[in-house]
Each structure stands twice: as structure tokens, then as C-alpha cells.
Amino acid sequence: MPLTIRKVSPDFKFDVAAPAGWCYAAGDTIIGNLVRHTPIVSPEATITLSLVGRIKTKITESKTNNRHTHYRSEARLVRSDQTIISGQPLHLPEGSGAPLSWQFAVNIPTEPLQSTRQVFTPSTSFVPLDRDHPAHHTLPGSFISFRDGLAVSSSCFVEYYLKALLRYTYKGSSKLVEAIWPFQINHPVEGTDLLSQLNCLSFNQQIQSQRLLPGMQHADLTFKQKTQKLFGSSKVPKFVFDMNIRHPAAIQLNHREPIPIILEIRPRPELTSPSVEDQSIVINWVRMCLHQCTSVLAPSNFLNDHAHDDNHHYSVNLNLEAAFQRLESPLVMSTAEKGEKRVNIGEMFQLALHPGGFSSGSQLLTAISPIPDFTTYSIQHTNAVEWKVSYSVAGETGTFKASSAIRIIASA
């Protein structure tokens, strides 16, 4: 199930007025020229130009005896046609210094065709077909994903391209030349109302050690004390606190403000041993792993209302630990009355997510190409972050981790 590839030759090609790798947005206009360098003499020629956008999925199930069953879904998102010239003579003599050239301008629609949803059934679409939904009015960005598995493999893409056909008569015969120019469309900017919303993950933490007692922080424990600690004896003092991670419900690529990631501690004196005084909590590091999931649907070959599905998972450590390693002094929080109980590490490290990676100020922490969340008919892409925090109290180290959904929004 290949993507449409670029097709160019001296006989016919696109010359588009855009830098290499340029991405368009829905509603933009593509301008350029169709060009022919090869000499030609024809009494009659027609050039048609089409803009095509389509979404396609394929799921392959491996059977016994090396047999495979394929399930496919394809729908046209956009299609527009125009005639550049019709029935005109063409003449480009041998040795001519300038090629034949025809200007064009193509407007990219702002939403899919109304007929797109008719290809799907409720069970083969992530988008509700019986009511209004943003996907009915929003062009998804260019996208490709695939997974090779032993039992099930799948692939999907959203693609856009221009196709031009030159039909002409030569010595009484009809000739046809084709040129294709694939291009990229950015994902729409959706969900910016979530940028100011902070979600909270709360973790109850407990440290049990004789080193929590005054003057014992660096003491060497006796064999008896180690044994009591190992078996969680009630004679061993206990320190209990809550650690909260406040994170944004959504992150926008290239946003002007640092990503707000706030660590909070809340002492729990009612659960802490009376002999334990105020404690300092050293944050050794915070780990963020971005988990991206793409889900695909395809109908059965015989029952169109029955769906087959598959998921692609991709995870990468954003390497936030490296920012902690560069600190001149450890990040310390304290339960004391005037101690630091709330730290915005996103602001402290100037954390940002870009189309090319995750950074701390001008320092790239990890190279990654995050894909914004989107849902279209047979493809759904979502993001989540797995958090892991390492801390130390009185020489004792603890860790905790959890996952939370975070929406990634395209750059404005």
C-alpha cells in the first residue's frame, strides 16, 4: 500500500513556487507552473490538473500455510479538477532555449468532501457518522504509520498530491504524459483551550528509616536497626507525604511559553511518626517518556459493517534527566514552614516541544518528531506521557511513576 510518489520528467513536470519540504495549511493556495522541456509539435493538446487527498488503511492477518488476508479501507478526502489548456496546438522546436510553461493556482479546500463519510459505516469509523463532528469539517494533516507484526501487520496514511495530465496528438496518434507532485499539509490547530488547563497526578509516599531522626541522617545503622527497617518494624520512624505532578492537558508545538510542569509536596503529619521533624526532599530526576499510539480500522472483506483494527505504539524517552544532571546544585524541596514546597520545573528548565524535538532552553534534550493528536475516519492518533520521579530523603531513595494522556497540538 505505497504512498503516491513524485513523477517528473523533461516531458512534463511541476515547478511549484515553494521551498523544498514546505508544508501547506488547509485553505492555502498552491501556485506554480507546469513545464515541458522536450520538443513537441502537436495540433491539439489538453492539460488537466487535479488536487487529490485520500486516507487509506490496510490490515494484514497472517494465516497458516503462509497465507495472508488483507483488509483495506480507502476514501477520498478532497478532489478538485481544472483544465489548464484545451484543444490548443503546441510547438516547442529542437534547440529552443525556453521550455513550454503554463501557470496554475490551486486552492486547498478547508474541509473534506461531504461524500467522504459515505464510504464508512459506524463500526469502521472513529468519527460518528450520524451527527456533526469536527472531523467532518477539518482536513487531517499528512500522516503515515505502519507496524510489522508476526500475526498482524498494518499501515495507514493520509496523503495529498497534485496530478497533471498532458494529452496531445502526434502524427495522428494520441499521447499521454503524467506529472505528480506530492505535498504536505500541516495538522490543524485544535484544542488550544486546553493549554491553560492543568491536570494533577498525586502520589502518596512513605519513607521508613532511623535516619529520619534528628542527628541520624548520615549515621551508620547497626545490624539490629537494619533488620528492623527491613521488616518494617513499628519501632522505625516513618515519614509520609504526598507528591503531586501538575501537568498541562495539552502541549502546543513551538509555544512561546515553557511547558508548565509543577512538582508539589504536601506533608502528612497525621501519618508521620511524632519523632520525625521537618525533612528535605531532594529531587534526583524526573523522567518523561512520550508514548504515541496510532489506531487503524478496516472493514471485513465480506461484512462491511464489521471492523478489523490494529494499533501502532511508539515510545521515546524525552531525556529530561539530562537537565537535572546539569544543575549546579540539587533541586531540594522541604516540609519546613518556609521550605520550598512547589517548583515549576518546566519554567526552571525552559522546557519546550518542537516539531524536531524536546528542549531545555537552547539545549536539545532529545530529537523526536511528535505527531499532534487527531482523529479522522479510519485513523486515530493519540499521545500520553509516562512520568517517573526519583527522590531522596535522609539518604533513602524512592521512585514512583504513572501515565497520563496529554494532547499535542500543532504549531500555530
Residue range 122-172, pLDDT digits in tens: 999 999 998 899 899 999 999 999 999 889 999 999 999 999 999 999 888
Q: Show the domain range for 33.
A: 13-185
Residue 1 counted as domain residue: no
Mean pLDDT calculated for residue range 320-330: 95
Cell, residue 403: 501515565
Residues 146 and 259 in one domain: no
The pLDDT > 90 percentage for the chain reads: 79
Domain boundary among 166, 185, 204: 185
Same domain, 196 and 61: no
For residues 58 and 167, state if they share a domain: yes
197 and 181 within one domain: no
pLDDT of 216 reads: 60
* Whether residues 114 and 240 fall in one domain: no
Q: Which of 135, 150, 185 represents a domain boundary (last residue)?
A: 185
SS3 at position 223: helix
pLDDT at 222: 60
The predicted pLDDT at position 15 comes to: 97
Q: Is 338 a residue whose pLDDT tops 70?
A: yes
Q: Of 185, 210, 238, which residue is a domain's last? A: 185
Separation CA 135–CA 85 (nearest Å): 35
Q: 231 and 139 in one domain?
A: no
Q: What's the pLDDT at 401?
A: 93
Residue 3 lies in a domain: no
pLDDT at res. 170: 86
Q: Domain of 121: which CATH number? A: 2.60.40.640
Q: Are residues 83 and 223 in the same domain?
A: no
Instruction: Give the 3-state secondary structure of residue 264.
Output: strand
The per-residue pLDDT for range 257-266, each reduced to its tens digit, is: 999 999 999 9
Q: Is the pLDDT of residue 228 over 70?
A: no
- Residue 336: which pLDDT band, with cuts at 50, 70 and 90? confident
For the entire predicted model, the pTM comes to 0.90
Q: How far apart are CA 32 and CA 15, in angstroms?
A: 6
Q: Which of 408, 400, 401 is nearest to 368 (CA)?
A: 408
Whether residue 299 sits in one domain with residue 282: yes
- Residue 8 maps to a domain: no
Q: Taking residues 209-234, what's their average pLDDT?
A: 61
Residue 155 is assigned to a structural domain of this protein: yes
> Which residues are CB-neighbours of 302 under 8 A, at least 6 positions away?
none
Residue 228 shares a structural domain with residue 104: no
Mind listing the pLDDT tens digit for each residue in 352-403? 999 999 999 999 999 999 999 999 999 999 999 999 999 999 888 999 999 9
**Domain annotation covers residue 4:** no
More reliable by pLDDT, 299 or 225: 299
> What domain count does the chain have?
2
Together in a domain, 78 and 166: yes
